Amino acid sequence: MDSLTPENVSVLESSTYTPRDLIELDKNDLRLSLLELKERYSSGLVSLFHEETCHGFSDKLINDIVDHANHVFSGKYLTDNLAMYSSIHAIDVLEVFQELFGDITQFDQEMDERHLLKKQFTDIESYLLSSSVSFDSGYGETEESLVPDYELEF
């Protein structure tokens, strides 16, 4: 099986937008901006595991984004064609592209999606923090509370 390259991605995605032409300086600026984004994900992170394992934004992913930069115009492209599994990361990367190149036509809609995702996660976190969960105290006493299912919609 051939490896995934910007040239062999889906015809639909590549026909929707005219690829942007980038010079080496543009690619270097993009790489530096993505490294800053990676640092932002890593800052304040305390874990026994490597930082990249926790947030999933690796140097390899940064290189792949730069390699595909001519074709990145949506979060869908990033999640469909690269090893990017977080919608939040995809939107953050699009924000970098918009700041550098200013050519993301659906940028406002993508930012609205990001706002809704963050609100859903914040609502879930608030709900879980305010609810008690059943646990066994170890002394034969069990505090019970049923936490209802919370459905995420993407």
How confident is the model at residue 125, as a pLDDT? Answer: 73
Looking at residue 55, what is its pLDDT?
59
> pLDDT at position 10, please?
44
Note the pLDDT of residue 65.
Answer: 97
* The three-state (H, E, C) secondary structure of 5-69, written as one string: CHHHCCHHHHHHCCCCCCCHHHHHHHHHHHHHHHHHHHCCCCCCCCHHHHHCCCHHHHHHHHHCH
Mean pLDDT by 10 residues, the chain (154 residues): 49 64 97 94 62 73 97 94 89 95 92 83 78 55 54 63
